[in-house]
A = this chain, B = another copy of it.
């Protein structure tokens, strides 16, 4: 099995730590390692580094290569511009097919958190077995723990198979991010799972699906395929990507396909999409305070906050529900629950052309 890690994210939601030059997956937000280092290390027991492909943008390639010395340089695929997940996955499928024929490939986001890695690998191996057996588009569905509105949902249909003890269901429907009322009905009804954005299939299968569902993208991919490993590669990539529309694999392929399957899973998954989400998954003290640098914190009558300030002593006095993030040039103080609004700070800085903070 090949693993394809999609590392094209931007992540303004982790400002002031995330910047244009340093998106979320390149940050050590969840531990001492960066998120992409964790993502790669998590998959290595299942897939050796020479079978791990990473798709990234040119502006982050240098930093990414530096963080992942174990990945062969030819496995870093550089997109000339971001066009959402469908072109990214198509490009990776071409490379897999070229190097290994019709291998199974697992497509994985670069910036998610997974607590139970062993369970994750077990589910992934089951999905790979299923994908190897036929023209299936296998997804991993996360058992929801609440009516989240930040994720898409996958509705299970009939039980289709079992692999390594995991149940695999036909997909009845794929739903966009719901409002909270609809999310509640999903939970009440049961059989709905969060769309983890992880896909497992044969390279030939996804290319065939793109041929029928996204013929324009597929045609461009064929142009790229002919140019791969030739002197024209960079120019063709740039031209073709310039012509691509931006479209996700969910919307472009998965929602139309008939041969989709879902493996329900529960391995402590979070997309850690915001400072609030990070607080939720972080280790906290008895007062609900999450702080990487514990010795650097003096807390007086304070609760339920996230503190990141690696170099300074931080004193909290009589505060609660705060997110405090300090970097060398900026300081964020945000109410917990409002961290989606951090993007407004970034927008303001963009309007004011304060590039040094972006």
Chain A interface (Cβ < 8 Å from any Cβ of B): 15-16, 298, 300-301, 309, 312-319, 322, 324, 326, 329-335, 337-339, 341-342, 344-345, 348-349, 354, 357
Report the 8 A-B pairs with minimum CB-CB distance, sorted nearest first: A318-B338, A317-B334, A318-B335, A313-B330, A315-B345, A314-B331, A300-B344, A315-B332
Instruction: Given A16-B315, A319-B322, A322-B319, decide whether A300 and B341 contact each other with a Cβ distance below 8 A.
Output: yes
* Residue numbers in B under 8 Å from A339 (CB-CB): 317
Is A319 a contact partner of B300 (Cβ separation < 8 A)?
no
* Residue numbers in B under 8 Å from A341 (CB-CB): 300-301, 317-318
List 20 A–B pairs whose Cβ atoms lie within 8 Å, in order of A's numbering: A15-B315, A16-B313, A300-B344, A300-B348, A301-B338, A312-B330, A313-B329, A314-B330, A314-B333, A315-B332, A315-B333, A315-B345, A317-B338, A317-B339, A318-B335, A318-B337, A319-B333, A326-B326, A326-B331, A333-B333
Is A319 a contact partner of B345 (Cβ separation < 8 A)?
no
Listed residue (A331, A338, A339, A357) with the most chain B CB atoms within 10 angstroms of its CB:
A331
* Residue numbers in B under 8 Å from A312 (CB-CB): 326, 329-331
Is B315 a contact partner of A322 (Cβ separation < 8 A)?
no
User: Taking CB as reference atom, which chain B residue is nearest A345?
Assistant: B315
* Residue numbers in B under 8 Å from A324 (CB-CB): 331, 333
Instruction: Given A312-B331, A331-B326, decide whether A348 and B298 contact each other with a Cβ distance below 8 A.
Output: yes
| CB proximity of A291 to chain B, nearest CB, Å | 12
Is A345 a contact partner of B300 (Cβ separation < 8 A)?
yes
| CB proximity of A333 to chain B, nearest CB, Å | 5
CA–CA, A354 and B313, complex, Å:
10
* Residue numbers in B under 8 Å from A319 (CB-CB): 322, 333-335
User: Taking CB as reference atom, which chain B residue is nearest A317?
Assistant: B334
User: Taking CB as reference atom, which chain B residue is nearest A275?
Assistant: B317
User: Taking CB as reference atom, which chain B residue is nearest A339?
Assistant: B317
* Residue numbers in B under 8 Å from A315 (CB-CB): 15-16, 330-334, 342, 345
* Residue numbers in B under 8 Å from A298 (CB-CB): 345, 348-349
| CB proximity of A90 to chain B, nearest CB, Å | 38
| CB proximity of A349 to chain B, nearest CB, Å | 7
Is B348 a contact partner of A333 (Cβ separation < 8 A)?
no
* Residue numbers in B under 8 Å from A354 (CB-CB): 313
| CB proximity of A299 to chain B, nearest CB, Å | 9
| CB proximity of A268 to chain B, nearest CB, Å | 28
* Residue numbers in B under 8 Å from A334 (CB-CB): 315-319
CA–CA, A167 and B191, complex, Å:
84
Is A316 a contact partner of B333 (Cβ separation < 8 A)?
yes
CA–CA, A339 and B315, complex, Å:
12
CA–CA, A331 and B327, complex, Å:
12
CA–CA, A334 and B345, complex, Å:
22
* Residue numbers in B under 8 Å from A300 (CB-CB): 341, 344-345, 348
* Residue numbers in B under 8 Å from A316 (CB-CB): 333-334
8 further interface pairs, Cβ-Cβ under 8 Å (given A16-B313, A318-B337): A300-B348, A312-B326, A312-B331, A317-B339, A317-B344, A319-B322, A324-B333, A326-B326
Listed residue (A313, A316, A337) with the most chain B CB atoms within 10 angstroms of its CB:
A313
CA–CA, A354 and B315, complex, Å:
13
* Residue numbers in B under 8 Å from A344 (CB-CB): 300, 317
